[in-house]
Chain A
Amino acid sequence: MPDATRILFGHELRHSLRTWLWWVLPIGLMVTLTCALQPALAKGVLAAKMDAMPDALRRAFGFANVDFKRPAAYLATNFTTITLSTALFAGLLGAAMIAKEETLRTAEILYAQPTSRTRILVGKAAALAVYALAFPIALALLSIVTLSAVAEQTVEIGVIVELFIGATAIAVCFAGIGMLVAALVRDKRSASGATLGAVLGSYFVGVLSALDEVVQPLRWLSPYKLAEPAQILVNGTDVARLGLLVIAGIGAATIAIAMYKRQDIHA
C-alpha cells in the first residue's frame, strides 16, 4: 500500500503554503520595518520609553538592564510581535489541520482510505512542523539581513538565532496544543477560538506573573516564560527549558493523535 504519511505530508504542504504566505508576508514586513528603524529608535524614542517605564513593568517584560543600542537587544525588546505571531500561526495551523477535515466534512472520504488515522495525522503533523519551523526561519533571515544593513554596531547573529530558536520552541509547543484542542473540540472555528485563547491567555498570564511575587507561581502556566528573549539575551539559551517546550508540543500532538484515532468521525 502507498505510504499515506507521505501523501498527506505533500498534500498539506501544498495546501498550507497560501496560509503560510498570508502570515509571513505582513509579519515579515513588520519585522523588517522594525529592524530598519533600529538606529533611530534605539538612540531616541525607545531608550526614552524604557526609561519612563515603571521598574515593575520593565521587569515584567524582562528588560530591566538592557542596552538597546545592541541590535540583538533592540530586536529582543521588540520580540513580542515575533513570539506571539509565531505561536499564533503554529497553534492555529495545528488546530486547522485536524479540525478542517470535519468542518469541510471531507473526513469521511479521507479516513475511509486504506490507511490508519495515525499515519494520516503523522503526515499532517510533519507538514505542520515544516511550516512551524519555516515561519520563524523566514523572520530570522529578514531580521538578520535588515539589521546587518542598517545597524551601526555589530549584529550578533548567534544571539539573534538563539532568540528565534526560543520562538520556534514556543511555536512547536503551541502547534501541539492546537492539535490537542482540535482533537477535543473538533469544529474548526471553535478549535481556532480556543487555541487563540490559549496562545494569548498564557502570554498575559506570563506578563501578570512578573508584576508581583504573589502571582509569580502563575509563570508555570505560561510557555513563554521558558524562552524569554531578555533571559536569552543575558544568559544564552537554556537547552533544558527549550527541550521542555518541544517535549510539551510533541506530547500534546501525540495525545491528540491517540485521542483522535479512537473517536467517531462526525461527517
Chain B
Amino acid sequence: MTAIEVEGLSKSYGGRRGISNVSFAVGEGALFGFIGPNGAGKTTTIRILLGLLRQDAGHARLFGVDVATDGPRARASVGYVPSETNLYPRMRVSELLDYTGRFHDGDHVARRRELVERLELDTSVRASELSLGNRKKVAIVAALQHRPRLAILDEPSTGLDPVMQARLHDVLREEVTRGASVFFSSHMLAEVQSVCKQVAIVREGKLLAVEDIAALRSRAVRRVRLTFAGEIPPILLDGMDGLAREGQTVTFVYAGHAPTLLAALARAAPADVTIEEPSLDDIFLRYYAESSDA
C-alpha cells in the first residue's frame, strides 16, 4: 500500500500560483524527501494532504483514503510538523503535548518522555517562553509521540542546532525502521540527501522529478574552482559548462562522473581546488536544461 498518493493536484490562490498538476506516490516505510526552494509549493501540497486546504483539481490519498472526502480517517495515524510552529502561548509544553496526544488512541507517555529526553526539551515552560528551535522540538514530539504510521514534516530542522538536527534524523530513521513512512520537506538539499532515500523535486508549483537520492547524487552538477600558481593549462572535459577565468582562478560547472573529474584535475595540477556541493539552483538549472533539450 502507498502511504501517500497524489494525482494531478492543483491549487491556485486567486491569481497567485500554488501548485499545478503535481503527482507522486510515497510507498509505505519510505523515507521520502520533498525538496524545492521557498515558495515552490511544498507547504501547499502538504496542507492539501492534511485537509487544511482544498485542492482545485486532482486527488490526494493517505493510505488509500481520500483526504477531501474522509479527512479524519485519512489523518487517523499521521503526525505533522508544520513549517511555522505556532503554539498556544499560555499553555505549558507538557499541557500542549498532552492536548495533542489526546486526539490519538493509546498511551503515549513513554514515547513522549523518550522523545523529550532525546531532544532535550523542557516541558515545564510556557510556549510563549520558547525559542524557535524549542517550538520546533515541541511540534516534533507532538507529531511523533503517538507513533504515527506516517510522519509529515515541513522544514523540521529550521531553528534546530546541528546536534539536534542529527538527533532528529536518527529519530526519523528509527521511525522508518519500525515500519512508519516519513515525508520530509526541506529546501536544504544536503539535509534531504543525508536523510532520505528518495526525493521529489518541486519548483514554481510544478513537480520536476522524483528520483532516488543515489541517482540524484550521480547526476548532480558540481561547481569547481581551481587556482593556479603559474600558467593555466587547457582544461577540457565532457560535461563541463560555464567555464570562466578571472586572474589565476578558473571556475566551471561539471556534470559527470567524479573519477573523470579527479583525473583531469590531477593532470592540470592546480595550486588549490574547491569542489562545492551542488546548490538547489544548480540542480534546477540542470532539470530545466534537460526539459528544454527534450
Residues of A within 8 A of B (CB): 1-2, 4, 7, 11, 15, 104-109, 111-116, 119, 262, 264-265, 267
Contacts and interface: CB of A to CB of B under 8 A. Distances in A.
Given A4-B103, A104-B86, A104-B89, A264 B54 contact: yes
Residue in B52, B53, B76 whose Cβ sees the most chain A Cβ within 10 Å: B52
Interface in B58-79: 71-73, 75-78
A114 B72 CA distance: 4
B103 A267 contact: no
B72 A109 contact: no
21 contacts: A1-B76, A1-B104, A1-B105, A4-B103, A7-B102, A7-B103, A11-B99, A15-B90, A106-B86, A106-B87, A107-B52, A108-B52, A111-B52, A112-B50, A112-B82, A113-B100, A114-B72, A116-B71, A262-B54, A267-B47, A267-B52
A10 B32 CA distance: 37
B10 to A, nearest CB: 14
Given A105-B86, A106-B86, A106-B88, A112 B72 contact: no
Q: B-side binding surface: helix, strand, loop or mixed?
A: loop
Contacts of A1: 72, 76, 103-105
Nearest to B82: A108
Contacts of A119: 72
B37 interface: no
Contact of B52 (A7, A114, A265): A265
B19 to A, nearest CB: 13
Interface of B: 47, 50-54, 71-73, 75-78, 80, 82, 84, 86-91, 99-100, 102-105, 139, 142
A11 B89 CA distance: 14
Nearest to B80: A112
A109 B52 contact: no
B144 to A, nearest CB: 14
A20 to B, nearest CB: 15
A1 B86 CA distance: 25
A4 B87 CA distance: 18
A264 B78 CA distance: 20
Given A7-B99, A104-B86, A109-B87, 16 more contacts: A1-B72, A1-B103, A2-B105, A15-B88, A15-B90, A106-B87, A108-B82, A109-B80, A109-B82, A109-B100, A112-B78, A114-B72, A114-B104, A115-B103, A116-B71, A265-B47
B88 A104 contact: yes
Contact of A267 (B54, B84, B142): B84
Contact of A111 (B51, B78, B99): B51
A41 B64 CA distance: 72
A39 B70 CA distance: 63
A9 to B, nearest CB: 12
Contacts of B51: 111-112
A115 B105 CA distance: 12
Nearest to A265: B52
B103 A109 contact: no
A267 B90 CA distance: 19
Residue in A106, A108, A267 whose Cβ sees the most chain B Cβ within 10 Å: A108
Contacts of B90: 15
B76 A114 contact: yes
A72 to B, nearest CB: 41
Nearest to B106: A2
Given A2-B102, A2-B105, A112 B88 contact: no
A102 B102 CA distance: 21
B75 A112 contact: yes
